Amino acid sequence: MSEASSKAIFIIVDGIPADVLESTPTPNFDDISGAGGYTRAWVGGEAGGESESPTVSAVGYNSLITGTWSNKHNVYDNDVNDPNYAYWDIFRIAKKHDSSLQTALFSTWTDNRTKLIGDGLPEAGGYKLDFTFDGLELDAGRFPHDLQSNYIRDIDATVAGEAARHVRHAGPDLSWVYLQYTDDIGHRHGDGPKMTAAVSLMDEWVGQIWDAVKAREASHAEDWMLVVTTDHGRNAETGRGHGCQTERERTIWISTNHNVLNANFGPDAAIVDILPSIATHLGLSMPDDIRTALDGQSFID
């Protein structure tokens, strides 16, 4: 029997504090973690040090996909005005290793592709994504904008559904899914029943993707690593804000189905550890200057 091919998919569900996740019934997250592990982790770089990074959404995404903090990737807010593409994203690393690897992005925020990944930009390594599903937030005809963010809820449901469909039928080697609704609800309502309900929706959407991953493994010779995380916590006073260096804002979590976790998988794990972990699973090599610039370390053997 031939060796199973390695595949990886990472999902960012925006702005879910660890304590909220842990107090909400989430059977799909629990199933993923039961296959591998769950841990609290952190974002924000070294508080008070050179690498201190705002606990802001785009900053967290870019720290994940580059394995570096803001002092390197140069993203300090959601405007993403001048990212430093000298620190490669995971898709650029994958394509440099093997250009035939199939990559995919499913995102409720188009800037993930156009600005953070910089897909198609020569300075960012050119085109790195083979399949993309995004831009729905720009389609106000199909998704009329409303103050309650119901349109973001509907976009997230559509994005998750397409991610599940594509994974099930195409099985890309490396994929990123980004879902936003929980952050919008957090900003509007803070801690409480509406946030809990939004987390339950996220669990359903992630469950669709998890089912697709399990279906691929059951019907193909594939070894899938799924990582689910969030980009920041929220303030302790109301749960509405984030961006600073308080413990709750810096505390995130990581759930994965990978069952060969090493001592780095624990409360000292950081969002920058996800890139080297995925690279380990996929067996990706990288140029020495990119590898040595990483701020994270693999939590799998």
Residue type, 198: A
Determine the pLDDT at residue 1.
35
d(CA 235, CA 244): 8
Cβ pair 105, 133 in contact under 8 A: yes
Nearest to 179 by CA among 231, 226, 118: 231
d(CA 44, CA 112): 19
Determine the pLDDT at residue 4.
84
Q: Would you list the DSSP string of 191-207?
A: SSHHHHHHHHHHHHHHH
d(CA 189, CA 168): 35
Determine the pLDDT at residue 156.
98
Report the 10 Å Cβ neighbour count for 171.
22
Determine the pLDDT at residue 26.
98
Determine the pLDDT at residue 2.
47
- How do the pLDDT tens digits run along the chain, 301 residues long? 347 899 999 999 999 999 999 999 999 999 999 999 999 999 999 999 999 999 999 999 999 999 999 999 999 999 999 999 999 999 999 999 999 999 999 999 999 999 999 999 999 999 999 999 999 999 999 999 999 999 999 999 999 999 999 999 999 999 999 999 999 999 999 999 999 999 999 999 999 999 999 999 999 999 999 999 999 999 999 999 999 999 999 999 999 999 999 999 999 999 999 999 999 999 999 999 999 999 999 999 9
Nearest to 104 by CA among 169, 151, 33, 152: 169
Q: Which DSSP category does 118 fall into?
A: -
Q: Could you tell me the domains of the chain?
A: 5-197+204-293 (3.40.720.10)
pTM (two decimals): 0.98
Determine the pLDDT at residue 9.
99
